[in-house]
Structure 1
Amino acid sequence: MTTALRKPAMMLMALVTGICLWGSQTATSYAGMSSSQLEAEWTQLYGDPANYNTPDHVAPTADGGFVMLSDLTSRTFGPTRLHVIKTDASGGTEWETDFFDEHYVTEAYHGYDIQQTRDGGYIIGAGLDDRSDGGPLYRAYLLKLSSTGQVEWSRAYSTVFENPVNSVQETSDDGFIVTSSTYNRSDTAPAYVFKTDKDGHLQWDHTFRYSGGGPTDFRDGQAFNAAAETSDGGFWVVGRYYDSSTYYPLLVKYNASGKLISKRMKETSDWGRLDYKQIMPSADGKGYIMLNAEGLWEIDRSGNTLWNLRLTDSSRELDDISFLQMNRVDDGYLVFGKDQTSDDHVILKLNAEGKTVDVLRQEIPGYTGNFNHAALLQDGGFVYLNSIESSAYLQLTKFKLVSQGEQPGEGEFFLDDSEYSVTVNDMIDIVALLKKPDGTVLPVTKETRFSIENPEIASIDEEGNIIGLAPGLTSIKAEYNGQTAAASLLVVKPYVPKPVNRISEETGPAESDSTDPGSVVPGSTDPEPSNPVPADSGDTASGSSDSDTSNPGSADPDSSEPSTPDPAGAEPGTSQP
């Protein structure tokens, strides 16, 4: 199947001119956010289509820009490398670098987390596919970069289990606290946490084992997801553990030396049902706030519940929402989530006591809601990192809050052509565009809904890719923000030229270069036909006996059709021999 891809070029043309991509769809909002909507402020593309570009993580930086972590693998040959891109506030690339540490016997590094450090550099949490001891053994791996992307140090960390990094966070002594999941074939792997100094040297680590009934009764699925430093230099670490076919939330306290001080497990009325994804100091200064897929829980410094809020139970609008991230703001929290059954996203504003102040629910097509691929911003917007065109490119989109007085979809909506044609089993793509009142033209394909009048003739997906299924003429309908556009679509059969046998009256049959007397040059006649046609018989070379129906100019000697090619049987603009 051949593919004609015009979207990257069209999008890049718009981005070069500094145009904003407006991506708002239907929005439902409440309370103070009733005057706001989300809008896609800009979209940028990164990467080389000669590689597979797999997104890992995106994070905001102190200068208002962003840093992206991805895996980079050549489409032809080569190992998987770590790829880091630093952008400015508009998504423009400031620098980028690839990394592959040849000190280890490995074929792949996989990124998980990247954060900016206080010195302006970056710490990366990754996994190393280590084969030095016959492996593979998936080991935790840290990489420290300078503010300009230069490598300062890198280190791998081993247990008897596979232990990729889930999160890495800088500590008050300039070191790092790292959380991990561990895996092994016997399903007995514990959760894992370790602490390093500023140069990555291991200071302490701990494997947390939960026994469901005996010293060997361990289960897979134990994990630490995140950590928060305490005022005494210790850490609260959150995650999950597994017992009797059920996952439970897990909260563990370590002191500054890595000694386990306390743990809290099992479901209770004030504890929740799912594992915790984040923990951070609370806005009211009384303890720590934790997030899971259902809502927020605040604990005091000893780990006791101060309040809990199952946001999914608080209103019908939040029934199917899975909460992904939270940010602490001056007077409370911002919480970001996604509907599990639709493209609706939710941003909530809560005060320091957990009371919901504002709720914005809005459809944003095409965004999956992966925890690591989005970063919630202090102003209530967010950025989203994904890959497009079979991982040929990374795409970063910044969404911001705008008042309803600013209508993101204002302008003239149209398609890049009014007539399309495609061959059966081939693919072309449509680009949907919006011309703003100021004359700028923006690509809005991702926010457009497409349909085909005759689905038996062609199919079209949500990204505007059309595949020809059967010859025929149909129409395409595109809808964006209440506006519609239409175009015709012609699907034709593949053009397959047929060989023609001709005898020249002057030179006779074509000669063969072959020494085999039985061989025939393609396109020629048999030098010694078994049934020669008499010169005065009036028959054609095809052997037809009806001069009124023969068609010497046709590609098919037996055809009685006119020589003009059928549009449903040949590519537009071509003619048969």
Structure 2
Amino acid sequence: MRKYLYKPFVVMLSSVLLWTGWSGSGHAAAPEEAASVQWSHELEGIDVSKTDAKGSAVTVTSDGGYVFVGYRGSSLTEKGASHVVKVNGNGEIVWKNDIDVLDQHGDYSTNRAFAVTETSDGSLLIAGEQIRKDIDRKRRAVPFVFKLSPDGELLWKKNYPDLSYYTQRAELIQKTSDGGAIIGGGARTDNWYPTHTFLLKINADGDVAWYETYSFGFYTYFHNMVVTPDDGVIVTGEKVNSRWGPYSHRFITKFGPNGDQEWEKMKETDEIRAVLPSEDGTFLLTRYNSEEERYYLQKMTETGDILWEKVSDALSASAIGDIVQAQPMEDGFAVISNQSTEYAGKSYKYKVTLTDDNAIPIKKYLFGTHELYISKGGISLDDRGLVYTGTLLTKTETGSKTTFPLAKIAVPGQAPTNPKFSKLRFQTDKLYLAVGQAVHSVVEAVYSDATVTDVTYSSSYNSQDPGIAKADPLGNITGISPGTTVIKATFSGLQASVTVEVTEGQTGPGRFFLDSDEYSLSVGTELDIAAFYTDETGLTSKVTEDTVFAVDDPAVAAVDEYGNIRGISPGVTQITAAFNGHIYRASVWVVRPYTPVH
């Protein structure tokens, strides 16, 4: 893995209004304007002979930034290596990583990232494929998944060559509440026929929890996948019943948290271009009727019931072009489409159409040249604007090359909205307590603009096993008996959890403790610990010099015999202090020192 820091390249485009309409619409024409590009970057391959690069997907992170994934040319591999880029909310590239993988022969192998999701602790799970060569050096694709920390450090990387089919690729990924993910993709035998699909459930360490394959016809393809509240998934796709048959059906189906199929709609005639979750727990479907050449929107429940359907003249193919996806916005929808438009002497390929609640256009924003191709998972739009990635074709002296674009455009016509509550978290993911020891936990609400609010006193708590540890209404957690359990906090419909490990209480009379339950320092800095003992008479003495200290993870922090902690690398660990049979544990948080990106 190679890590870099970069400065942003920022481009601004002027906006000029243009009024357009469509014949027979019965509505006033919506204004069009060229979108303002707030920032953009173009990435190339890292080898002069392999300059091509492609973007696959983007996701918004809980700190208000964005993570882009794709792959680019590398001298180490035949067809490139996975590439991950973290950008903050201002468009500055914070870090970027190339992922190198060795195959079973010890050779660097092609690996390509197709999808990304952020887990509840801010880590990133990226899915794609690794091209391996078997003993006879025959090429095959296997699912490839790797996990990065919020700072871009590689935590683990795994491939799955022993699944049912000879060739499989991970094309879709959705996080689950246990820190793992469900992965979906295509599978086939040692030739092109037939084509099947699979779901692979992994835990937070990348180990396989379950794996299932599905075949609904001679060819079966998954196109969209969204997670449901029970950690199952709703999948849409396409099936063809015979090898030579020209006719296909679309399908929608729900798989439960163990991969069992719970319901299905197998003979859908209209295409399903996109499926996106809504805040109310339902799903927005973008559909296309090819006979009438029009798009429409549907709202669907987790059980597959259609609650409503939106049809508008503005969603005809002639009026809006080829829709990439539509998504719910406050008081309406945002529709991203591919439609060539000439405007102010320039030609644009894409547009964002903001509509009211009846899918009637209010404003349109044009962006992207005809050399730009936006990938299926390469769009994210919220109240801050639209970010995208894909492939940009660029002419060179010897022909052409493809680059990996990252860009954000402003969509100023949207009504201002309050930041949305996006995630609930404990400040630490694990606590160590002695029997009878109590600590005050901190629960935080993270919002879409990266602001964080302490909601400890506003949350409700429950313990998986109150006989091991319990939490009171103020977030104080107390160890009851030895063992391990989970405490869950709930606030405004979202949950967070912390694992609590309780060990035997202190032995002998008196009480031993440190000057804090939690320490925080930067990489490269030091902090001293003070240890105290209160005897049975109530007299408290400082016993630091007679205390033995140890740290759980020396890669994060080190502690010497005098109780001095030194920050080694970003992360969270625990220290253990021992005095005359008494044990006390405390958390240590090591953060990266602030270094502005120039």
Q: TM-score, normalised by structure 1?
A: 0.57
In structure 1, what is the equivalent of residue 118 of structure 2? Answer: 116
Determine the structure 2 residue equivalent to 1:143: 146
Q: Partners in 1 of 2:7 and 2:113 — Cα distance?
A: 29
1:149 partner SS:
coil
- Residue 37 to residue 381, structure 1, CA distance change in 2 (3 Å): farther
Distance 1:242 1:26 in 2: 46
Shift of 1:321: 1.7
Corresponding letter in the other structure for 2:405: Q
**Residue 170, structure 1, aligned to residue 175, structure 2:** yes
Alignment partner for residue 229 of structure 1, among 211, 227, 245?
Answer: 227
* 1:130 alignment partner AA: R
Q: Does 1:365 align with 2:338?
A: no
Counterpart of 1:278 in structure 2 is: 274
User: After superposition, what is the alpha-carbon deviation per residue over 1:434-467, rounded to whole angstroms, capped at 9, x for unaligned?
Assistant: xxxxxxxxxxxxxxxxxxxxxxxxxxxxxxxxxx
Shift of 1:264: 0.6
Q: Map 1:323-402 to 2 at 5 A.
A: 323-339=323-339, 343-350=348-355, 355-356=359-360, 358-360=362-364, 362=366, 364-366=368-370, 367-387=372-392, 388=394, 389=396, 390-391=400-401, 393-402=403-412
- Structure 1 unaligned blocks of 5 or more: 1-14, 212-217, 405-577
* CA shift digits 1:163-199 (9 cap, x unpaired): 2122111112221011112234252121222221111
User: How far is the alpha carbon of 1:282 from its aligned partner?
Assistant: 3.3
Contact 2:110 2:131 (8 Å CA) reproduced: yes
Larger radius of gyration: 1
2: distance between equivalents of 1:81 and 1:386?
A: 16
1:22 aligns with 2:16: no
* Identical pairs, percent: 19
Matched, 1:239 2:237: yes
1 or 2, which has the higher strand percentage?
A: 2
2:39 is aligned with 1:42: yes
SS at match of 1:381: strand
Query: When the two structures are aligned, how many residues end up with a matched partner?
Result: 374
CA shift digits 1:452-510 (9 cap, x unpaired): xxxxxxxxxxxxxxxxxxxxxxxxxxxxxxxxxxxxxxxxxxxxxxxxxxxxxxxxxxx
Residue of structure 1 in register with 2:86 after alignment: 86
Distance in 1, Cα, partners of 2:248 & 2:340: 19
Moved over 6 A (4+): 15-18, 29-33
Shift of 1:97: 1.5
Q: 1:264 to 1:41 in 2, by over 3 A?
A: same
Tell me how far apart the structure 1 counterparts of residues 93 and 315 of structure 2 sit (CA, whole Å).
42
Q: Which residue of 2 aligns with 1:155?
A: 158
Call closer, same or farther: CA 1:49–1:107 in 2, change over 3 Å.
closer
1:200 pairs with one of 195, 198, 206: 206
Counterpart residue identity of residue 362, structure 1:
L
Kindly indicate whether the alpha-carbon contact (under 8 Å) linking 2:374 and 2:390 is maintained by their aligned counterparts in 1.
Answer: no
Q: Which moved more, 1:378-387 or 1:23-32?
A: 23-32
Q: Which runs of 5+ in 2 are unaligned?
A: 1-5, 22-27, 289-294, 342-346, 415-598
The structure-2 alpha-carbon separation of the partners of 1:363 and 1:87, relative to structure 1 and needing over 3 Å to count, comes to closer
Contact kept in structure 1, 2:7 and 2:92, CA below 8 Å: no
Task: Report the residue type matching 2:127 in the other structure.
Answer: G
2:544 — aligned with what?
none
| Paired position in structure 2 for 1:505 | none
Which residue type is aligned with residue 239 of structure 1? G
Select between 174-183 and 122-131 the one with higher mean Cα deviation.
174-183
> Looking at both structures, which has the greater relative contact order when contacts are Cα pairs under 8 Å and sequence separation is at least 6?
1
* Residue in structure 2 matched with residue 52 of structure 1 by the alignment: 51
Q: Tell me the equivalent position of 1:132.
A: 134
Residues 381, 70 of structure 1: alpha-carbon distance in 2 compared, 3 angstrom cutoff:
closer
Structure 1 Cα separation of the partners of residues 143 and 363 of structure 2? 38
* Partner residue in 2 for 1:291: 286
Q: How far apart are residue 251 of structure 1 and its match?
A: 1.0
Contact in 1 for aligned 2:375/2:390 (Cα 8 Å): no
User: Does the aligned pair in 1 maintain the 2:373–2:390 contact within 8 Å?
Assistant: no
In the alignment, is the contact (CA less than 8 A) between 2:239 and 2:250 conserved in 1? yes
Residue in 2 that maps onto 1:187: 193
Q: What SS is found at the alignment partner of 1:370?
A: strand
Q: Please give the residue correspondences for 1:238-317 in structure 2 after superposition, counting only pairs within 5 Å.
A: 238-243=236-241, 244-267=245-268, 272-274=269-271, 276-285=272-281, 287-292=282-287, 294-309=295-310, 314=314
Query: For residue 497 of structure 1, what is the aligned residue in structure 2?
Result: none
Q: Against the structure 1 CA distance between its residues 350 and 207, is the aligned structure 2 distance closer, same or farther, given a 3 Å change threshold?
A: farther
Q: How does 1:389-468 map to 2 (within 5 A)?
A: 389=396, 390-391=400-401, 393-402=403-412
Amino acid aligned to 1:165? A
Tell me which amino acid in the other structure corresponds to 2:299: E
Distance 1:315 1:70 in 2: 31
Post-superposition offset of 1:226:
2.7
**Mapped partners of 2:232, 2:403: distance in 1:** 41
The answer (yes or no) to whether the contact 2:332–2:359 under 8 Å persists in 1 is: no
8 Å Cα contact 1:292/1:324 also seen in 2: no
User: For residues 150 and 86 of structure 1, do their structure 2 counterparts lie closer, same or farther at Cα, with a shift above 3 Å needed?
Assistant: same
**Distance change >3 Å, CA 25–CA 143, structure 1 → 2:** farther
